[in-house]
């Protein structure tokens, strides 16, 4: 069983930065395909960024590409989401997700691909 614990959310001004962390237990992160999703009330969970297991090839949705970077630290068994140039529309509850499978690229952005989820961490971008 994999457990995921997110941290690092908070209140930040527009243009600021935050780094979210997702600490995994039960399996090493390089054996998992992992992703970050976000959700605002009344809307579906939205894919933000992810990385495949093994080599860790990364992917990001167009609205955050160039601003957000996903990475992992195998030694700390943690995945990160570095968020720069934050905008008010980035405000959401951010979730970490993982699967032990090997999803194809087109499935990485689909929430049902993932078997394990964290509890979420709130990010609020406001002046």
**How much of the chain, in percent, has pLDDT values that exceed 90?**
83
What does the mean pLDDT of the chain come to? Answer: 94
Q: 91 or 63, which is more confident?
A: 91
Q: Long-range pairs for 59-67 at CB < 8 Å and ≥24 separation?
A: 59/105, 59/108, 59/109, 61/109, 64/90
């Amino acid at each position: 069983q994999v457990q995921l614990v997110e941290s690092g959310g908070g209140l930040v001004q527009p243009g600021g930065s935050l780094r979210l962390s997702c600490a995994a237990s039960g399996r090493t992160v390089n054996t998992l395909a992992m992703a970050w999703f976000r959700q605002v009330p009344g809307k579906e969970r939205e894919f933000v960024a992810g990385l495949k297991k093994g080599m860790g090839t990364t992917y990001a949705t167009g609205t955050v590409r160039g601003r957000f970077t996903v990475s992992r630290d195998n030694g700390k068994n943690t995945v990160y989401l570095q968020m720069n140039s934050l905008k008010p529309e980035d405000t959401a509850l951010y979730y970490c997700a993982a699967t032990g499978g090997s999803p194809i690229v087109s499935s990485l952005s689909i929430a049902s691909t993932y078997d394990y989820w964290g509890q979420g961490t709130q990010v609020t971008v406001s002046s």
